[in-house]
Amino acid sequence: MADELDLLRRANPVPSGDPRFRDRPLDHHAERRLTNLLLGARAARGGGASPARGWAWGIAATVVVAALALTLLLSGTTAPPAVAAPRPLVVRTGSAAVPLDRVADRAASAVDAPRLRRGTHVQTWSLAMTSGPGSRPPLTLPEERVVRWKADGSHTELVVATDPRRPGRPVITGGDDTPRTVEDGHVLSRRTYPPSWSDAPPEARPPHDARRLRAYLEEIDPVEALNTPRLLDATAVLLDHWTPGGRESAALVRLLADAPGLRPAGAVIDRLGREGQAYVYDDPARSTRRMLILDPATGAVLGLEDTVTKGAPEYGVEAGDVMSYSAWMR
């Protein structure tokens, strides 16, 4: 443990003066970056835990509290039960794989493309695990979050637990500044934040050309180089703060087209029932397979799925379990 603590102190992943972390808790992407930091340290030392074991240790440490919290929230007689880990999305057999540069061209020439909007609407599924005597099988924690900003710089955040009996069904409605739940949403938190401004990514307005957007994404997590795994991580962080417009989507797909190892896989139906194109990256360092899902007509990111490629029996996790999934909506 001493090695991990020293590593975290040197990296200082959550500096106290950084405006990105003011007045709100860390999100699941920040927790994932902490886990990746631990995995990198173990690999560098050699002879340590396997990537799968290191991954499982880090994730379990961050989600076990959330698992207990949701168990309490969803344990009522009328509340839906938590669900087992879902299976990965499957690419449609025989479907054509569309290259990323072609999607970028389509996005750049799209007519009536949407405008950039601050805020997000996203559904996430996260794997929660426990270990040791009396441990329970892994559970998937589904939740939906919508963030809306107002003209004075203040914003609201509504987080609800989605209904596992109706996977992929949004439980937040309302396109105005006052989102509200529909009948099957269990409210986890509802917050209003005072006006705030920042010129640091991801709070700063993202650019809409590929060169400047790369520099922007590099600044989100400047500890290490922006390789393909970190580009995907930074993309998820961006989408948790902004809903890109047509120009921003085109610039992002241009960057993704140059990402080593990210290959087109074919057509897929995402967890919200939308048709998209899947792009896959195998990440042996994390023992995961990452699937990025894009709208082939607009270049908009629809989802990002992380699937375990090497099991961790002590946590009840098998190869093929979905570690996390995010589905972004407009």
Output DSSP code: residue 200.
S
Provide CB contacts within 8 A for 112, sequence distance 6+.
none
Q: What integer pLDDT is reported at residue 175 of this predicted model?
A: 54
For range 208-232, the mean pLDDT:
93
Question: Using CA atoms, how far apart are residues 237 and 133, in angstroms rounded to an integer?
Answer: 36
Question: Using CA atoms, how far apart are residues 67 and 49, in angstroms rounded to an integer?
Answer: 24
> The pTM is what?
0.74
Q: Which residue has the higher pLDDT, 246 or 57?
A: 246
For range 147-157, the mean pLDDT:
93
Question: Using CA atoms, how far apart are residues 130 and 68, in angstroms rounded to an integer?
Answer: 10
Q: What integer pLDDT is reported at residue 71 of this predicted model?
A: 41
Q: What integer pLDDT is reported at residue 65 of this predicted model?
A: 35
- The winner for highest mean pLDDT among 73-77, 182-186, 191-195, 222-226 is 191-195
Tell me if 329 sits within 8 A of 162, measured CB to CB.
no
Question: In whole numbers, what is the pLDDT of the chain averaged over residues?
Answer: 76
For range 93-100, the mean pLDDT:
95
Q: Is the pLDDT of residue 180 over 70?
A: no
- The winner for highest mean pLDDT among 15-24, 132-141, 175-184 is 132-141
Q: What integer pLDDT is reported at residue 189 of this predicted model?
A: 82
How confident is residue 257, by pLDDT bands cut at 50, 70 and 90? very high
For range 198-210, the mean pLDDT:
94
User: Which range (154-158, 222-226, 234-238, 255-259) has the least confidence?
Assistant: 222-226
How confident is residue 148, by pLDDT bands cut at 50, 70 and 90? very high
Q: Which residue has the higher pLDDT, 78 or 318?
A: 318
Q: Is the pLDDT of residue 267 over 70?
A: yes
Q: Which residue has the higher pLDDT, 137 or 244?
A: 244
In the chain, count H helices and then E strands.
7, 12
Q: For residue 215, give Cα distances in angstroms to 32, 109, 226, 326.
A: 21, 24, 9, 24
Provide CB contacts within 8 A for 245, sequence distance 6+.
113, 114, 115, 116, 117, 208
Q: What integer pLDDT is reported at residue 39 of this predicted model?
A: 38
Q: Which residue has the higher pLDDT, 211 or 10?
A: 211
For range 155-166, the mean pLDDT:
75
For range 183-190, the mean pLDDT:
69
